[in-house]
Structure 1
Amino acid sequence: MLSFLTSTQPWSTFLDDTDAHQQLTETILLPYVNTCRWFAGKARQQTGIHISAMLALPGTGQQPFYLLILDAHYADGEPEQYLLPLALVADLTDVPDKGVLTEARFSDMPGTLVDAIYVAGFRDALFKHIAANDSVTQPGNSASGSSASGTLAFQRGRGLIDAEAGATLTSRVLPVDSSNSALVFGYALPSQPSGELFFLKLYRKLFEQTNPEVEMVAFLTETGGFGAIPAYAGRFTWQRTNAAGPQPDITLGMMQRMVPNDKDSWAMTGDYLNDFLYAVPNRLFAVKEDVFEKVALLGQRTAEMHLALYAKTDDPAFQSEPFTDEYRRFLTGRFTDLLDRRYDLLVNNYSRLDAQAQRLAWVFMEAKEMIDDFVADFQTRWLGSCRIRVHGDYHLGQVLAVGDHTGHRDYVIIDFEGEPESTITDRKIKHSPLKDVAGMIRSYHYAVSAKLFNSVETEGIDPEKLQIVSDRWYKLIRDTYLDAYLGTFGSPHPMFYDNGEINYLLLIYLLEKAVYELGYEISYRPTWVKIPLKGIVDVIREIEKLQPGGHHRQMASAPLHLV
């Protein structure tokens, strides 16, 4: 318990209770948010936090709930905006300590101010408003400037199904600490327990635009008809207005269908790598046939996702586009900056690397000028392929393995928020779908490398021999994935101009991904630096083939075996 709040006004007028707002701001909010997993500003020098807006949400009973929009300010850099729903409760039975802000006494009741996600009435209100396609008009700015203008708008999606007659709504908070909050809903009948059907992600860190994940999931469900994601069930947004007129909507939450899963594909890949791992010390190369089947199925589902994102639409946010000069400048500029920073980081940390990583690093450093030329060529090279919205942060951890009662196995793709370090605007930029493909290929490379280089079973094996073995597994899996991916599109397809262009673009995105990975490994896992370095060196070898006297013609005819 962090403090004590008192007010001479009732809780129902909290929107205009300037004295209570001041107490929250001065003594309660900053200490509280620093205990929350979802608050990302803990490591920055904080200069304060204030309530920039407050939205009212009618409850199912007498007591309202309030959605606080908090602005966190820092000594350096831009402020950040967070969502904190508030409830006043008399009973803390279902509220964990991490959900308690302070004891409070209002004129109509004493109680405790808590994060409202732990109050069943708040969760029920969110669900019922979404199901009803409701909107809640906000009262407008008060003297304190906290109450908000605009509308709290709820939208129902196709994935939301109504309860059977006699069923009651159930809900709970998933006990997972992350950057957002997860609420689960279901329907219970008198004769049977609740069947959990829906998952609502309450976004804590807010952005001045509609969340890209909501746009992607809604489009894939409602327009693309893609079934290998948790279906879009609804969302709620703050539709803002001020004296200048409407402002960009801010997404507050999204609901999807629940998907029971055994594990994500990173964990599953680790499982079937175990058989391979145990055979390596005995100089055996063993890959079960069902491993190839699973990889091919993921390649197929990836292509189906991209075909759904290519669906014809009048929405300019999802219409396919060519490779424009603007996009070329964007990607080249970002890539050049990334290369320079990673190159400097590698030079400064070269002496910390093991012998194998140093050999790979030397190849990268020696090829820096050739890589710069390869990236610069992207600005002027003619490209006939097209760009679409993509997942943007695609790897094995973003794919859930699912099964049904018959034993049939399949995949469900999740988490469409995009690259965590990119701005919201950049996350919505259209790319070749090969950007996602490169992300998954790099993920497979990480899976086998991490398993072989960091396991007790392979401790006594020469690292160069381990590299050869891991390369063989990786290339088989990569080619299986690519074969299934491109085979699902068929040839020709307007997404890709020809095989040579597929190879060229894939090299661009593979190199970008591996160079990006390099920074994290140097800073946090120096023993893993050889993994992205090997990915960079593999691409360098292919770039060399594109040089005068190389094997350009061979490359252009073989899109499935390029690296």
Structure 2
Amino acid sequence: MVTTQSLHLPTGWLNAGSDAQFWTILTQTLLPPYVNTCRWFAGKARQQTGFAVKTVHTLPLADGDVAYLLILEASYAEGIPENYLLPVTFLADHTAHTLSFQVGDIPEKGRIGDVMIGNKTGLLIDAIYDDRFRQALFAAICQNQIISQTNGALTFHRGKGLDEGDESLTSQVLPVDSSNSAMTFGDKYFLKLYRKLFQETNPEVDMVAFLTDESSFEHIPAFGGSIIWQHEQRPDITLGMVQRMVPNDKDSWMQTGDYLNDFLYAVPQRLFAIREDVFEKVELLGKRTGEMHCALYKPSRPDNPTDPAFAPEHFTDEYRDFLIKRFEDLLDRRYNLLIDNYTKLDIQAQRLAWVFMEAKEMIETFIADFRTRPIDSLRIRIHGDYHLGQVLATEDDFVIIDFEGEPESSIADRKIKHSPLKDVAGMIRSYHYAVSAKLFNSAETDDLDPDHLQRVSDRWFYLIRDTFLNAYLDVFGAPHPLFKNNSEINFLLLIYLLEKAVYELGYEISYRPSWVKIPLKGIIDVVREIEKIRLSDGVATPHVAMLQTGLLQTK
């Protein structure tokens, strides 16, 4: 391998974009060790077989220099290759004094290596740390530029959230390491550069642009623009997005934790106390959630057709099959995982696990009912990964963030339309986690009987859940096309609550065994409601046992 000290690339930097050999040398020398140090690279733990620069985009800089946006393919011994975005610039030693920033201020994680390119020595860096690159990106978005490339075009879209006259704001890279890269402009805008790329537009950009441009919903960071790689032979690929920055103190998970502290301190004194402003905050979040879904519900009209990607849809057989297959696979894996780890659980979790396993047939009957039950409610695009951590608490309101969808789902699956009750289920489960984690993992409650703690936790959760849900549904009124009636609302909410809690169970068994009781209790709560539906429907299923709640009794 060529060392960084001796690496010499004969082609000059301005001509490197079209020199395949130039990039081949880099992928065999500097790029692999550098990329493997980057937080955004997800393939560190996999057996890598090599890197290749598949596409090079050229971005002109204001001083006549250029930056290159590399589409870097990582290949592995097993599994399909992954594509990553790596923008690069070259800082020649003899021009360092002309830059608008100090080379010495570039952090180690931004330095790819010292090289000689053409007849000039200098430093190859991740371009996000080059002020010229950041300014070129932002200016291109402000100006709605389209920059033709050898392989398609870079298309910069300006959104409604970008104010006039803001093209030349000072910028900086946020120091937080994550799966994407973040830059700020004038402490007013936030530019997210997506690192791992997918063969279609990012759902977050689609969602934020739709909510900003097609609705009056203001409780998101407004869409400021996007960077798209367009090519006639394949779907558009999202490279970045700009949003307005939102001043906030904390997310709603932290805010809820603060409110729960008052409740927690009262529990050992056998006092049940919830401040009135807690209910007010929960009601407000329920209202904002309903308003978000109303904004996403946009049926087509002859004079104003809706983008098919956002048009409401019915519960089709295809959708039911998709959801049932995913849930049945998930359920089988969780049952097996629970059996394998049963002896590692505490007594309370073991009792809950036993009831869950005894209810397997009832759950399967419920799923079968979902396959055939008539449903007239509608499906729309939703947030998809909705919980307290995705809501920022401002001084007196909320702002909803992060519309990328479920992290473990494919991009195509993240764009599937669901009942908005799937988002509601996510928030309800988040509240259940908040109170359970606080009560069962605090020194103040160490000496209290676990069954007593469970009862207290349940009382808080049921009050908060009903407060959120009532405020949410009040936004829509009745009837509303998204929800045929209360019976369908209850049935669909149970479907999504059960799926969410079963999903959570796998994580807790694998990583936090002491928390397994939280999703298990959520599952049991849903199964109790399933049993009520079964009894009210009057459908005879004598071979399916009733819920064995007696197993939960300790006295």
State the SS of the aligned residue for 2:288: helix
Partners of 2:537 and 2:386 in 1: CA distance: 32
Offset at residue 50 of structure 1 (A): 1.1
The one-letter code sitting in structure 1 at the alignment partner of 2:295 is A
State the SS of the aligned residue for 1:547: helix
Does 2:489 match 1:489?
Answer: no
Equivalent residues in 2 for 1:449-488, closer than 5 Å: 449-488=436-475
Q: What is the CA deviation profile of residues 198-224 of structure 1, one whole-angstrom value per residue up to 9, with x for unaligned ones? A: 000000000000000000000000002
Does 2:357 match 1:356?
Answer: no
Contact 2:115 2:121 in 1 (8 A): yes
In structure 2, the residue matched to 1:29 is 31
Partners of 1:382 and 1:338 in 2: CA distance: 24
Offset at residue 108 of structure 1 (A): 5.0
Choose which of 372, 383, 394 in structure 1 pairs with 2:386.
Answer: 394
State the SS of the aligned residue for 1:452: helix
In structure 2, the residue matched to 1:280 is 267
TM-score after normalising by structure 2: 0.92
Partners of 1:263 and 1:151 in 2: CA distance: 39
The one-letter code sitting in structure 2 at the alignment partner of 1:442 is R
Contact 1:12 1:63 in 2 (8 A): yes
In structure 2, the residue matched to 1:185 is 185
The one-letter code sitting in structure 1 at the alignment partner of 2:430 is S
Q: What is the CA deviation profile of residues 221-242 of structure 1, one whole-angstrom value per residue up to 9, with x for unaligned ones? A: 000221000000000111024x
Partners of 1:66 and 1:550 in 2: CA distance: 63
Does 2:140 match 1:97?
Answer: no
Does 2:310 match 1:318?
Answer: yes
In structure 2, the residue matched to 1:218 is 209
Count of aligned pairs: 523
Contact 1:7 1:19 in 2 (8 A): no
Partners of 1:9 and 1:285 in 2: CA distance: 74
In structure 2, the residue matched to 1:126 is 137
Equivalent residues in 2 for 1:315-354, closer than 5 Å: 315-354=307-346
Offset at residue 109 of structure 1 (A): 2.6
Q: What is the CA deviation profile of residues 127-185 of structure 1, one whole-angstrom value per residue up to 9, with x for unaligned ones? A: 000000001001x2xxxxxxxx1000000000001237xx9420000110000000100
Offset at residue 290 of structure 1 (A): 0.2
Offset at residue 102 of structure 1 (A): 0.9
Partners of 1:159 and 1:78 in 2: CA distance: 37
The one-letter code sitting in structure 2 at the alignment partner of 1:130 is I
Partners of 1:549 and 1:67 in 2: CA distance: 61
In structure 2, the residue matched to 1:293 is 280
Does 2:237 match 1:237?
Answer: no
Contact 1:237 1:252 in 2 (8 A): yes
Partners of 1:86 and 1:114 in 2: CA distance: 6
Offset at residue 65 of structure 1 (A): 0.2
Choose which of 154, 157, 164 in structure 1 pairs with 2:159.
Answer: 157
Contact 2:226 2:241 in 1 (8 A): yes
TM-score after normalising by structure 1: 0.91
Runs (4+) off by over 6 Å: 549-552
State the SS of the aligned residue for 1:349: helix
Q: What is the CA deviation profile of residues 253-277 of structure 1, one whole-angstrom value per residue up to 9, with x for unaligned ones? A: 0000110110000000000000000
State the SS of the aligned residue for 1:161: coil
Q: What is the CA deviation profile of residues 310-343 of structure 1, one whole-angstrom value per residue up to 9, with x for unaligned ones? A: 0244200000000001100000110110001111
Distance 1:448 1:548, change over 3 A: closer
In structure 2, the residue matched to 1:198 is 189
The one-letter code sitting in structure 1 at the alignment partner of 2:171 is S
Partners of 2:108 and 2:77 in 1: CA distance: 30
Offset at residue 79 of structure 1 (A): 1.2
Which ranges in structure 1 are unaligned for 5 or more consecutive residues? Answer: 141-148, 187-195, 404-408, 553-563
In structure 2, the residue matched to 1:555 is none
In structure 2, the residue matched to 1:538 is 525
Offset at residue 82 of structure 1 (A): 0.5
Equivalent residues in 2 for 1:24-173, closer than 5 Å: 24-89=26-91, 90=93, 91=96, 92-138=103-149, 140=150, 149-163=151-165, 168-173=168-173
